[in-house]
Chains A and B, each alone.
Chain A
Amino acid sequence: MKVVVDMNKCQDHGQCVFAAPDVFSFDDAGHLAYVPDPDEALRDEVEEAADVCPLQAIRIED
């Protein structure tokens, strides 16, 4: 699957990191980093992350 985060929207809330720690994390500077092409097995987690993002910045493509 393909994941895109709109970094203009993202305000580093970290809700996605709690929901899908295998896909989303914070780098040392406290900014969001993520795996753009996570394994299909992680779909539930990623959908949950997209749901809980307060800025609705996460898009799942395909």
Chain B
Amino acid sequence: MSAPVVVAGASLGGLRAAEQLRAAGWDGPVTVIGEEPYMPYNRPPLSKEVLAGKASFDSLAFRPRAAVADVEWRLGTRVVRADLDRRTVGLADGTTLPYAGLVVATGMRPRRLPCPGPAAGRHTVRTLDDARALREALTGPGVRVVVVGAGFIGCEVAATAVTLGAAEVTVVDPLPLPMTGPLGDLLAQALRDRHEQRGVRFALGTGVTAFHGDDRVTGVELSDGTVLPADVVVESVGSVANTEWLDGNGLDLTDGVLTDEHLRVGGRPDVVAVGDIARFPNARYDGVPRRVEHWSIPTDTAKHAARVLAAHLNGTEPGLDPFAPLPTFWSDQHDFRLQSFGAPALGKDDVRVLEGDPDGDVLAGYHADGRLVGVVALGGAAAAAAAARHRAALLKQPALTA
């Protein structure tokens, strides 16, 4: 039997890679290896519906396509090393697997704060098990919650904690506004106001220096010396790429796995990367390689990478243009939604209100060199629909040459 395509990582990206390999005409064996003991599941509800108790853990599982029924799933183990010259990967259980093609889909893990103090009572939200543990902690009576990190996950968790009836919810971040990195100041300010009106407090422009408590956290010490009392701490301070298993192969692993414009790794036609671990140049923008942690990215990258890999393995031409996805993200917080199309982060210096106003439903346009490069809506369904009306124009745009 011929060697399989090994998909390292059994999250959304790994599942889509397997499905898309079949769709792209790879009929050979496929082995997917995943560290978690679960079949691939949908992560965004972990910080929202699942945490709030509105969706069951079971409802998160993806329904794999029929075409992947013969795929071998090795769950509860991980890939710990790879020898790309020999085309083998080694698993945590000691097995060595030869491969015909390799899909790097090991994703990210939450970054942890290096501060001194007890570990118990500190949570992250990346996996099902994380969300289960956090839900249990949040549903205690009168809990005081400190969320460290005012990004997507931090803001979503803070909103959910308020809904669950937490006594106090404080979000800490060294930056002056929440989500200012992806949104810029105008919408970040509007976001902050909305959170405050709904009971979330902020401690901004300050870092965390220590955790207080003996066997479990009782407080969070900030850089200015203030101590916030806390029963539950959530660390949402970014993520770290799971690339250690690729060490020693001469790859650029500085932030995820560097790929070419077809998601190939290290100039090798038999190795591709998918999902938020892939640092790829987007031909739609300036061609600077970036990792993208949006929900749509695993599916988009898997489709492109699988075609490239299947064509190589089948000895055909993929005939594809360089990978150029239109970034899309959304975030549900309290009773409002953020909806984005394009690359607002590239146009943060020239933000204009296109519709509405920041106190109500608002649509902001982000410009680079006077041209619209992204839109973000904040508010209800009407605002999101307004953003969607700009999508076609953003999609049509020629590449931005920086």
A residues touching B (Cβ–Cβ < 8 Å)?
A: 11-15, 17-18, 26, 30, 47, 51-52, 54, 56, 59
Contact = CB atoms under 8 A, between A and B. Distances in A.
A52 B42 CA distance: 12
Contact of A51 (B44, B299, B330, B381): B299
18 contacts: A11-B332, A12-B381, A12-B384, A13-B330, A14-B384, A14-B385, A15-B296, A18-B388, A18-B391, A26-B385, A51-B16, A51-B299, A52-B299, A54-B295, A54-B330, A56-B42, A56-B62, A56-B63
B381 A30 contact: yes
A30 B385 CA distance: 8
Nearest to B60: A56
Please provide the 10 A-B residue pairs with the shortest distance between their CB atoms, ordered closest to farther.
Answer: A30-B381, A51-B299, A14-B388, A56-B42, A54-B295, A52-B299, A30-B385, A12-B381, A52-B296, A56-B62
Given A12-B381, A18-B391, A51-B16, 14 more contacts: A12-B384, A13-B330, A14-B385, A18-B388, A30-B381, A30-B382, A30-B385, A51-B299, A52-B296, A54-B44, A54-B295, A56-B42, A56-B62, A59-B63
Contacts of A52: 296, 299
Contacts of A11: 332
A7 to B, nearest CB: 15
A40 B365 CA distance: 39
Nearest to B326: A18
Interface string B295-311: 11001000000000000
A11 B384 CA distance: 12
Interface residues of B, number: 18
Interface string B343-383: 00000000000000000000000000000000000000110
B83 to A, nearest CB: 33
Tell me what chain B mostly uses at the interface: helix, strand, loop, or mixed: helix
Nearest to B45: A55
Contacts of A15: 296, 328
Contacts of A18: 388, 391
A15 B230 CA distance: 39
Nearest to A14: B388
- Name which of A30, A47, A51, A56 has the most chain B CB atoms within 10 A of its CB: A51
B51 to A, nearest CB: 16
Contacts of A47: 65
Contacts of B385: 14, 26, 30
A4 B251 CA distance: 44
A51 B296 CA distance: 9
Interface in B17-70: 42, 44, 62-63, 65
A54 B44 CA distance: 8
Contacts of A59: 63
Contacts of B328: 15
Contacts of A14: 384-385, 388
Interface in B313-363: 328, 330, 332
A41 B216 CA distance: 59
Contacts of B296: 15, 52
A12 B381 CA distance: 8
Contacts of B381: 12, 30
Interface in B62-104: 62-63, 65
Contacts of B384: 12, 14
A14 B339 CA distance: 11
A57 B381 CA distance: 18
A56 B49 CA distance: 14
Nearest to B332: A11
Nearest to B61: A56
Nearest to A47: B65
Contacts of A12: 381, 384
A29 B11 CA distance: 35
